[in-house]
Structure 1
Amino acid sequence: MPAIRVSAFLLLLGSVIPCQASGEDYQKQPGVSGTITSVGSDTLGNLMTFWAEEFKSYYPHVAFQIQASGSSTAPAALTEGTANVGPMSRELKESEIAYFSKVHGYQPTVLKVAIDAIALFVDLHNPVAGLNLQEVDAIFSVTRYCGAAQPIAYWQQLGLPDSWNNKRIRLFGRNSVSGTYGLFKAEALCQGDFLATVNEQPGSASVVQSVAYSDGALGYAGFGYKTAGVRALPIARHNKDYIAPSMENIASGDYPLSRFLYLVVNKAPEQPLPLLEREFIRFILSPAGQDLVRRDGFIPVPEALIRQQLRIIDPELQQGR
């Protein structure tokens, strides 16, 4: 999936910085009950839990089962009916769409529910100013498809002072079922292959924790998982034109590794979603749901895009938005 670019944002949204959804907040509806089973992204795991807890304040008898084992688990679970919502931190692959379509006769519905970025984390004592994408590829990849002439294995190769001369870069990242893994492979490694020395972790929180407590570590994970024990590095597309991973730079698309976060559902053409799923998504796209996005360290979806997606799940929901 290509990273979010400024031009694409301008064409789609008509503005650079997204704002919280306007209008009335979520209103409780009658007849909402049942169980929501979520299978998919670890990056969205905490946010799904926050959404579930707040949604249950409206509907105490609604149950949730949340399995955050990686984006690649979402399409199969939706196709096979073992989940009714599938959070993903990447776009669907053509093969995943084809499998779903073969079973159901139509494509899955993909909704944008938040904006995030992949960050490169180091411990607080690391003085490196930033990295460009070619350097990132030379550090993490065995193939170096982005064009670096030599691999980078030691911090001294990045110009760090004498005390770092013989310090090897210890690498941490996500496992292959993760959407973060897939996007990082596409955008930072130019679709190349990871080094075998990358310590794969089951979740972004594990990556950040490993970096915080490992000497000379560098790891990639979702920006929303930043903690006080690590520093998120500025990244440049070329040379040293570094862009800090701030919420403003991620929202504008200036930061090179920006991305949408998605919720995938099984919606038959020309039909609204079942009531339970529809109301859950209405809540997610409401000011209350998008405020939880902000509180969890992500960026809310712009109002124009919210209106568009409400029309997707049920054309009548555009009224009053």
Structure 2
Amino acid sequence: MNKRLSIFSKGLALTLVLLTTSAGALFAAPIKVDVNLSDYVKVEGVAGNLSSVGSDTLNNMMTFWAEGFRKKYPNVNIQIEGKGSSTAPPALIEGTSQLGPMSRKMKNKEIQAFESKYGFKPTTIGVALDALAVFVNKDNTLKQLSMTQVDAIFSKTRKRGAAEDITTWGQLGLGGDWANMPISLYGRNSASGTYGFFKEHTLEKGDYKDTVKEQPGNASVVLGVTEDKGGIGYSGMGYVTSGVHALPISDKDGETAYQPNYDNVLSGKYPLGRMLYINVVKEPNKPLPTLVKEFITYVLSKEGQEVVVKDGFLPLPAAVAKKQLALID
């Protein structure tokens, strides 16, 4: 299996690889959801309060899902807070939320803390796909980067083996006024799952440079690069605007660079594809509370995955959504 697919669980990765041989219709622009996804069927007796605490990356998507869900169930009240993936596990453990959206999987210590409270592990449900985009100001003419170069730009440890630190745009081949222009770094703060994912998969668990301007949200990163001609940053692709452009990325120097699009995420060619998750408290062999179960069912339905596309992210193929639904039965 392509090692770049290690971002997914092994079972999901295999499903995605197999789907790329037959899902050509999914790759057209604009992206369309899989026609084989299930329609959401409204049920009786759904009411009450639902709380979500976690990922900033999923914040807009959770809001859109909540709006769609409440149209079906007006007696449901949903509160959403998106300050970072690291806030999800404590909220689930303390019982202050029923939904814990995260842009990464829980760390072992988070799972252990959860298990210490409940006596069982959290249920982690994949709800959308994302390409973590590395982007520059719209006026920047840089064509592509390798993961080795990205590491040398953002990390002071350079675990991918770059020969030198990259601090100016001239080192990446830009001339004229750009040649001596310093590279200005924008990233997320340490509470963010995007920060953790980028650190693990791009920096190979190396250390960020002290000069990275840490931002509280993806939108702030994008705004920073939009207003800074020499800026470069990373965020979920759903936050990229006309003020920046996402760069194709290759796994290694000299290899083919791939755009952060649906086709390349599904095939594993784009090296920063990832799954986005919602975590819930589900006791083994017992059903989820009806309100929580129906919300997750809605998210994984055709209508729910259309929300994913609306928010600029990538919908799950039907076979993957079905596998996720099985986790909440």
TM-score scaled by structure 1? Answer: 0.94
Q: Cα–Cα, structure 1 residues 166 and 23, in superposed 2: closer, same or farther, change >3 Å?
A: closer
Q: Which moved more, 1:128-137 or 1:260-269?
A: 128-137
Q: 1:82-106, CA deviations, whole angstroms, 9 ceiling, x for partnerless residues?
A: 1100000001111111110011000
Other structure's SS at 2:325 match: helix
Q: In the TM superposition, what is the alpha-carbon distance from 1:252 to its structure 2 partner?
A: 2.0
Q: Which residue of 2 aligns with 1:203?
A: 217
Secondary structure of 1:4's match? helix
SS of equivalent residue, structure 2 residue 125: strand
1:286 is the counterpart of 2:301: yes
**Closer/same/farther in 2, CA of residues 24 and 306 from structure 1, 3 Å limit:** closer
- CA separation in 2, counterparts of 1:53 and 1:243? 34
- Aligned: 1:184 with 2:198: yes
Pair 1:168–1:89, CA change in 2 (3 A) = same
CA distance in 1, matches of 2:133, 2:38: 34
Residue number among 231, 235, 241 corresponding to 2:249 in the alignment: 235
Instruction: Give the whole-Å Cα distance in 2 for the aligned partners of 1:3 and 1:97.
Output: 24
- Asked whether the 8 Å contact 2:306–2:315 carries over to 1, the reply is yes
Write the distance in 2 (CA, Å) between the matches of 1:228 and 1:159: 24
State the shift of 1:311 in Å.
2.0
User: 2-side partners of 1:198 and 1:251: how far apart?
Assistant: 30
Amino acid aligned to 1:135:
Q
* Contact 2:53/2:81 (8 A) holds in 1: yes
CA contact (8 A) 1:119 1:221 kept: yes
User: Partners in 1 of 2:107 and 2:38 — Cα distance?
Assistant: 36
Alpha-carbon displacement from aligned partner over 1:104-135 (angstroms, at most 9, x marks no partner)? 00000000000001111111110111110111
What is the aligned partner in structure 1 of residue 171 from structure 2?
A: 157
Choose from 6, 26, 33 the match for 2:47.
33
- 2-structure distance, mates of 1:139, 1:6: 22
| Aligned counterpart, 2:148 | 134
Structure 1 residues 163 and 268 mapped into 2: Cα distance closer, same or farther (>3 Å)? same
Deviations 1:198-234 (A, max 9, x none): 0000011110111011121000111111111110001
CA distance in 1, matches of 2:65, 2:44: 19
Q: What residue identity is the alignment partner of 2:120? A: Y
Normalising by structure 2, we get a TM-score of 0.91
Secondary structure at the aligned position of 2:85 is classed as coil
The number of residues matched between the two structures is 313
- Residue 215 of structure 1 aligns to a residue whose secondary structure is coil
- Deviation of the 1:22 alpha carbon: 2.3
The match for 1:246 among 261, 277, 295 is 261
Structure 2 residue aligned with 1:4: 5
- In structure 2, the partner of 1:221 is 235
How far apart are 1:239 and its partner, in Å? Answer: 1.6
Q: Is the 8 A contact 1:245 1:255 kept in 2?
A: yes
Among 180, 183, 190, the residue aligned to 1:166: 180
**Structure 2 vs 1, CA of residues 259 and 72 (structure 1 numbering), >3 Å: closer, same or farther?**
same
Q: CA offsets per residue over residues 158-202 of structure 1, 9 Å max, x none?
A: 110122122000000000011100010011111100011000000
Which shifted more, 62-71 or 237-246?
Answer: 237-246
